[in-house]
Structures are given as C-alpha cells and as structure tokens.
Amino acid sequence: MVTVTHPRAHALAARFEPLRHLGPNWYATVMGTAIVANAGAGLPFRVPGLQAVWALSLAMLTVLVAARAAHWRHHRDQARAHLMDPGVAPFYGCMSMAFLAVGIGTLTVGKDVIGEGAAVPLAWVLYGIGTATGLVVAVGIPYLMVVRHQVAPGTASPVWLLPVVAPMVSATLGALLVPHLPAGQPREAMLLASYAMFGMSLLAVMVLLPLVFARLVHQGPLPLALTPALFLVLGPLGQSTTAVNKLADVAPGSIDTTYAGGLSAFAVIYGVPVMGFALMWLALATAMVVRAVRSGMPFAMTWWAFTFPVGTCVTGAEGLAHHTGLDAFTWLAYGLYALLAAAWLVAGAHTVRGLVSGKLLAAPR
C-alpha cells in the first residue's frame, strides 16, 4: 500500500523543522534575562533600562512558550526523547523558573510599565503556572531518573539541581504576593507554604550536591562545553538566601510576632553562611571555567548558567544588606551585578549570533 502525503503536510513539516531540536534548556535565556531586571531593581541606585529588560523577558517567554508548544505538536517523538534523556530532562526545571522569574520582575519592575492593577494579576498567573509545573517537575524528573533513565555511576551533573530548585523560586515570588492577600489566614498560609517549598528544595539540593562534588573529585573536570554548568550550584545558594530574606520582610503582619522575629533572625543566621559558601563555590567554578577556556571551551547554551545563578546571589546579597545594614553586602551586590550584566551581554550576543547562523537549532553532535 502506498501512502500519499498531502503537499500542505510537507509544507507544514518543513515550516516547523527548525524547532525540532528546541529543548527546554532554552528557558534559561528567559531566566537569565529576567534576573538582570530583578536583581537591578534591588540595588540602592536606579539602573537604567530595567523596564525594557523585563519587557524583553516577558516577550521572550511568550515566544518560547509558543515555540515549545509547536515543538510538542509537530515533533512529539523528539520531545519524548528529551524526557527520556537524563542529560536533557532536568532542564524542564528551567520552564518553571522562567515563569517565576518573569513573575518576580512583574511585581518589582513591570508594575512601572503596565501599572500595579495589571501587574498583580499577571504575577498571580505566572506564579500559578510556575509553581504547578515546578512541583510536578521536582517530583517527576527524579522519578524518571530512577525508573526510566539509564544513569551510569559517577555521572552526576550540576544540571540535576535544576528540577528541584524551582520551588525555591516559587517561595520568593510567594513572599512578594503575600501583601496582596487578605490579612489573617490567607497571608499566613501563603507564608508557610512558601517556607515549605523553601524546605523541600533545600533538602533536595543537600541530597544532590554531594553527588555532584563526588563526581568532580572521582571523575575529574566536566567536559568543556558543560563546564559553565558548575555555576548552577550558585542558584540554590543565592535563591535560598533571597527567599528567606523576602519571607522575613513580609512575616510581620502575616504571622504571630514571636515567629516573625525568629524568621527575621533566621534570614541572617542562614543567609550569611550560605552566601559565604556561594562565594567559595564561585571562586572554584571560575577557576574551572578559566581552565576550560584555556583548553578551547566553545560557546554553548550552558553559558547561560553564568546569568541566573549569579543573579540570585545578587538578590541574596541585597537581602542581607537590608537585614544587617552592612555596606559590605551592598558592595558585594554591586560587584556580582556587574558580573551578571557582563555575562548576560556575552551570552545574549552569542545566542543571537547562533540563532542567525542556525547553529544553535541544528541537530546536536
């Protein structure tokens, strides 16, 4: 029997062929762009252009969601292959964090563009989508790794952290939404739910991070193109510090004053040591990247790991500066933000160049 394919089907398939290898890792571009606006909004001085950066992140998210929907519709076999690939599946955590990062920017920067009346409902929508998908991914991807993926011993990667970090970002956006809830039970429930997501993410990271370091010690440096992924470890460190500080800000008026005071103290007691470890890891990861660059590290989408994780350290330092009053944390935020801005410009320029040339959407080698 001969199957005849309609010419329109051929044309449609050809139209969406460039999207065949568009993976969930592309959501990292949205995260990396949104954090530039989010982190800049917390600095003591006014950073020009933040509204434009937030608008760009929202536009990127909209386009990418449409492109990924087309990918699932027209290249379902490839989409399923991504889910079954232990090296690609963890990037589904980026999808959730992209929605949440843009949601945070909507309340901190976007309200100056679209007005608070539109910003708050939009932030709620982004929070709902990001949190729901994040919780599914936080459970679903580890489940696939256990029962479906073929993971060889000693192959742990910093990428494994991505699915379990998303609830930590939900905790941060949840803190920003607490004041927009009625006083009493709704605020307290939102506050404690955010702490619960902070806890589930933190404990999951504590399980995975030793595996990542053990892989480095026993197997040696990561492949050159994957080396920037070492910066992903900064994500849960900076984001958890940011979360506890943002939650402490809204604890008064949301929970009993006894607990509110304790949560404010916890923000500093937890945040300072974690920020210290983040700076140590930043130095280690930077040394490994310098080594990889000297060995000819090529551009890859992993370069976006230089953006969002560093940005969370900026917001973490800003929170500690607010709660301790120390200028040292403010200057730390300045320095890290300069690093973030430079990394975003470099990664963005290479990404645009790769899109124009078609290399970034080509089949992986």
Counting Cβ atoms within 10 Å, is residue 288 exposed (0-12), middle (13-18) or buried (19+)? middle
Cα gap 101→128, rounded to integer Å: 12
Residue 11 has pLDDT above 80, yes or no: no
Sorted by where each begins, the domain ranges of the chain are 15-357
Cα gap 167→144, rounded to integer Å: 18
Lookup: tokens for 272: 């300072």
The pLDDT mean for the chain works out to 93
Lookup: tokens for 70: 């087309």
Of 10-14, 26-30, 39-43, 316-320, give the lowest mean pLDDT range.
10-14
pLDDT (average), residues 206-215: 94
Cα-only R_g, the chain: 21
Q: Identify each DSSP E strand in the chain by its residue range.
A: none
pLDDT in tens, 43-100: 998 899 999 999 999 999 999 999 999 999 999 999 999 999 999 999 999 999 999 9
Identify whether the C-beta of residue 309 lies closer than 8 Å to the C-beta of residue 229: no
Q: What angle do CA 60, 35, 63 make, to 5 degrees?
A: 5
Lookup: tokens for 281: 């890891």
Paired with 252 in beta bridges are 255
pLDDT score for 18: 84
Of 2-11, 120-129, 307-316, give the lowest mean pLDDT range.
2-11
Q: What angle do CA 340, 125, 38 make, to 5 degrees?
A: 15
pLDDT (average), residues 5-22: 69
**Each residue of 291-311: b (16+ CB within 10 Å) or e?**
ebeeeebebbbbbbbbbbbbb
Counting Cβ atoms within 10 Å, is residue 117 exposed (0-12), middle (13-18) or buried (19+)? exposed
Residue 365 has pLDDT above 70, yes or no: no
pLDDT in tens, 165-196: 999 999 999 999 999 999 999 999 999 999 99
For residue 106, give the amino acid letter: T
pLDDT score for 17: 84
Residue 13 has pLDDT above 80, yes or no: no
pLDDT score for 14: 64
Cα gap 25→92, rounded to integer Å: 7
Residues 223, 226, 230, 235, Cα dihedral to 10°: -160
Which residues 6+ apart lie within 8 Å of 35 measured at CB? 101, 307, 308, 311, 312, 314, 315, 340
Cα gap 244→338, rounded to integer Å: 24
Residue 1 has pLDDT above 60, yes or no: no
Pick the CATH number of 15-357 from 1.10.10.60, 3.30.365.10, 1.10.730.10, 1.50.10.150: 1.50.10.150
pLDDT score for 7: 56
pLDDT in tens, 275-322: 999 999 999 999 999 999 999 999 999 999 999 999 999 999 999 999
Give, in order, the Cα–Cα distances in Å from 173 to each of 78, 100, 117, 122, 129: 32, 7, 17, 12, 12
Reference 237, options 162, 316, 139, 302; nearest CA is: 316
Paired with 255 in beta bridges are 252
Identify whether the C-beta of residue 122 lies closer than 8 Å to the C-beta of residue 192: no
pLDDT-derived band of residue 2, with 50, 70 and 90 as boundaries?
A: very low
Which helix H or strand E contains 207, and what residues bound it?
helix 185-219
Identify whether the C-beta of residue 118 lies closer than 8 Å to the C-beta of residue 88: no
Cα gap 264→269, rounded to integer Å: 9
